[in-house]
Structure 1
Amino acid sequence: MSKLRILYVASEINPFLQTSEVADFVRKLPQAMQERGMEIRILVPRFGLINERKNRLHEVVRLSGINIAVGDEEKPLVIKVASIPNAKLQVYFIDNEDYFHRKSVFFDKEDNFYDDNDERAIFFCKGVLETVKKLGWVPDIVHCNDWMTSLIPMYLKTTYKNDPIFKDAKTVFSIYNNSFSYKFDEDLIDKVKMIDIEDSMLSNLESADYTGFIKIGAEYADAVINAEEDSSESLSDLFTDKKIDTIEKDENFLDSYYNLYNELVG
């Protein structure tokens, strides 16, 4: 039995929130890996649609209180936790009043894409890494799911590369059919930058759109997975120098991930 430590990062997870296939995937895979002997942590945003009382979320005071820089601003990070019913899994929620206390996820009531979704993603990615540092938990694998998590592989290969918590961690980036057409402001690069990150390292993000986020995630990840088979052709058009693996959702797909994780740590 493998004793790997796997950190799952995603924008949503059942039963707390579901807007796409990500929520089901991130519900099934961590439990399956835990049943195979792996140690699991899961981090997601605490979007306003998640009912705290119903889902029994409570703040983890010892992990909260960090300020996360996004551009020139610093915003407080609040960490909450809840257990998945009928599973021995806890979920940590990244929260901030300005970014996540809205009764919708990425679009407002008029179906307009929030113009600060880039900042919400930056805050989330940085918040995940700082939370794991505070936990003092050393992951072997960091499995990032969808565009909102795409900055994490880059941060791990740059700013956090010598951090004792993350220095040996391998990253997996899974891509889904959750594209958007919005283009962010040109200051995106400046907001994303941290220590040890030069402009040239962010060239794939210059388009400031969905494709840019996907490309930056794929560029720095150790393994890139196409999580939905029907998107493989469009993905191959995006990447010319990066191998994209497709793990089909058949009866063997859980074993395929189990093998992938062990191969990466090798």
Structure 2
Amino acid sequence: MSLQRILHVTSELVPYFNENPISSGVYNAAKQMFAQGKDVRIFMPRFGLINERRYQLHEVIRLSGMNLIINDLDQPLVIKVASLPGERMQVYFIENQEYFKRKSAYSDDSNQWFEDNDERSVFFAKGVLETIKKLNWIPDVIHIHGWMASFLPIYLKTNYSNDAFFSDIKIISSVYNHGEGGVFSENFKNILEYDKIDLNDLKYLNSNSYVNVVKEAMKFSDVVVKGEELLLNELEELYNELEQSKFDFIQNEDIQEVYREANGINIQH
């Protein structure tokens, strides 16, 4: 079967964020495949810094009433949608007042990472998976970008591994240096254990660093792509050790090769 549906999961995207390796990388990859007639959709958090009126976000009413449990706390999930400006491509926004209303995406005014970035990231990952299931829209490929999206492959390959809805989805991880120095709270592993994720399956979580979660995402992915030409040493080392399909930093016009590769991989059940 040919690849027709591509889902990008990211915390940043042009024009909602300034241009940087993540926000531009997602935009260019999505736009190129959309131009080829693929059904491309993008999910990102609805951070408070995103102007809802300017970008014409509106709630998806048929998805209303959804809730997620995060570490024994019941959190409402609201889904909003907009068309990418200048395109007909749909961008879905994961919204929650507790986690994403703040006017800064990842850190406070003192540039200190938010203490609940672990809960926010898990909520984002589970929110994406539950939403596409409710939409009954099964992507052929999920392409993740950045540390906040890196929980998605972890959950997909553990907590959701027996759910037939997700059984044939391929995962591509684009790896960036964003998040260097970030450390999740001591509550981090409790959040995963509450969702019945066996920490013994997560070989890189010997510390709570953001980079280690990116490593887990790389391990669980079918294809790994360098989102930047030069990665942090520990990410570069793992990239070189991986046995799955890999792509060095590539130009925009070559991104379709990544999807061709993912389309040819057979998932072992």
TM-score for the superposition, normalised by structure 2:
0.90
Q: What percent identity do the matched residue pairs reach?
A: 40
Match of 2:202, SS state, is helix
Whether 2:173 is the aligned partner of 1:141: answer: no
Match of 2:216, SS state, is helix
Q: Which residue of 1 aligns with 2:54?
A: 54
Match of 2:63, SS state, is coil
For 1:151 and 1:182, the matched residues in 2 are separated by 15
CA drift of 1:235 comes to 2.1
CA drift of 1:177 comes to 1.6
For 2:57 and 2:183, the matched residues in 1 are separated by 34
Unaligned runs of 5+ in 2: none
RMSD over aligned Cα atoms: 2.2
* Aligned partners of 2:58 and 2:81 also within 8 Å: yes
Q: Which residue of 1 aligns with 2:85?
A: 85
CA drift of 1:241 comes to 4.3
CA drift of 1:138 comes to 0.9
AA paired with 1:89? Answer: M
For 1:19 and 1:107, the matched residues in 2 are separated by 19
For 2:26 and 2:71, the matched residues in 1 are separated by 30
Q: Which residue of 2 aligns with 1:259?
A: 260
* Aligned partners of 1:227 and 1:246 also within 8 Å: no
Q: Which residue of 2 aligns with 1:42?
A: 42
Q: Which residue of 2 aligns with 1:205?
A: 205
* Aligned partners of 1:247 and 1:253 also within 8 Å: no
AA paired with 2:231? Answer: S
CA drift of 1:162 comes to 3.0
AA paired with 1:256? Answer: E
For 2:19 and 2:256, the matched residues in 1 are separated by 26
For 2:149 and 2:73, the matched residues in 1 are separated by 20
AA paired with 1:207? Answer: S
- Identify the range of structure 1 (18-27 vs 208-217) with the bigger mean alpha-carbon deviation: 18-27
Aligned length: 266
Whether 2:166 is the aligned partner of 1:160: answer: no
Q: Which residue of 2 aligns with 1:68?
A: 68
For 1:258 and 1:14, the matched residues in 2 are separated by 21
* Aligned partners of 2:223 and 2:262 also within 8 Å: no
AA paired with 1:263? Answer: G
Match of 2:42, SS state, is strand
